[in-house]
Amino acid sequence: MNSISLKNVSKEYRDFALRDVSFTVPQGSIMGLIGENGAGKTTVLKLVLNMIRADAGRIEVFGLDHIKNEREIKEQIGVVMEESCFYEALRCKEAAAILRNLFKTWDDALFRTYAERFGLPWEKQLKEFSRGMKMKLSIAAALSHRPRLLILDEATSGLDPVVRSEILDVFLDFIQDEEHSILISSHITSDLEKVADYITFLHEGRVVLSENKDKMLYGYGILKCGEKEFARIAPEDVLRCRRSAFGYEVLTADKNAAARKYPDLTLDSAALEDVMLLMIKGETV
């Protein structure tokens, strides 16, 4: 069963278009949405949340139509956007009072537990909070009505490694329940490299890749070679290549096959960041 499924979703703006976006988030998994700034990550999340309307395509959440069953779906989703959405003059306890009336399933005790775990001061105004504290508050608020699905937009960007690691722990805790899933957009690929099960890679409003993360990490490889050797590489083995003054970097989809075929060339494994860079900056042959 899928928590989220998008089929051929398109959305046109004057200067940007999301075209034919399809991917699914299987139940019990973490899907990482990667792509450069402006690739359309936030647009996709807003479409799923029905904050904007798609021009074409179909979006389902928990197998239900995301517009017709919006209320039912939203009771079961926790959302964290990049910026804190709370009024700056509020304190934690006041934020809790507002949220209590918003969700049927709001759990005050759980919110307190998260606030304590994250070290959030109960009586301090939010404008005094650091960026990390605000993000933790947003996450605590998103989790305290016991959602089945978390949708996060750049939740770990701009945070220090210690806070990022704490937040990743929360995600891993959340996913202990096999019915829970997470859709998270980020351009910090190293975070996703650790915890995501699947990766969807957006570029200029299109899905470039949507795959099992391990397949990507252990399948893709980068061949490094000079001009002469590059001529020997079969075009079907070259996904993208990048040329510098002193040689070529070639992204290949099957590292093991490349190792057998070109045993004398230098072959590195590709991190998500390398795949992202070469897919965007590289050329096809």
Site of interaction with other proteins (CB under 8 A): 28-30, 168-169, 172-173, 175-176, 178, 194-198, 212-214, 217-218, 269
Cβ distance to other proteins smaller for residue 13 or 218: 218
Q: Can you say whether the dihedral through the CA atoms of 231, 235, 238, 242 is positive or negative? A: positive
Q: How far is the CB of 67 from other proteins (least distance, A)?
A: 31
Cβ distance to other proteins smaller for residue 105 or 269: 269
Per 3-state DSSP, what percentage of the chain is helix, strand, and coil (rounded to 5)? 35, 30, 35
Q: How far is the CB of 255 from other proteins (least distance, A)?
A: 10
Residue 44 near residue 202, CB atoms below 8 Å: yes
Q: How far is the CB of 101 from other proteins (least distance, A)?
A: 33
Q: How far is the CB of 167 from other proteins (least distance, A)?
A: 12
Neighbouring CB atoms inside 10 A of 252's CB total: 25
Cβ distance to other proteins smaller for residue 30 or 188: 30
Query: What gap in Å lies between CA 211 and CA 199, rounded to an integer?
Result: 5
Cβ distance to other proteins smaller for residue 118 or 171: 171
How much is the CA Rg of the chain, to the nearest whole Å? Answer: 21
Q: How far is the CB of 186 from other proteins (least distance, A)?
A: 14
Cβ distance to other proteins smaller for residue 111 or 198: 198
Cβ distance to other proteins smaller for residue 131 or 194: 194
Q: How far is the CB of 198 from other proteins (least distance, A)?
A: 7
Q: How far is the CB of 226 from other proteins (least distance, A)?
A: 23
The DSSP string of 106-150 is: --HHHHHHHHHHTT--SSSBGGGS-HHHHHHHHHHHHHTT--SEE
Query: What gap in Å lies between CA 235 and CA 132, rounded to an integer?
Result: 47
Q: Can you say whether the dihedral through the CA atoms of 59, 63, 69, 70 is positive or negative? A: negative
> Of 158, 153, 182, which Cα lies nearest the Cα of 170?
182
Cβ distance to other proteins smaller for residue 234 or 257: 257
Q: Which amino acid is at 201?
A: F
Q: How far is CA 59 from the centre of its chain?
A: 17
The two tokens of residue 80 are 């964290």
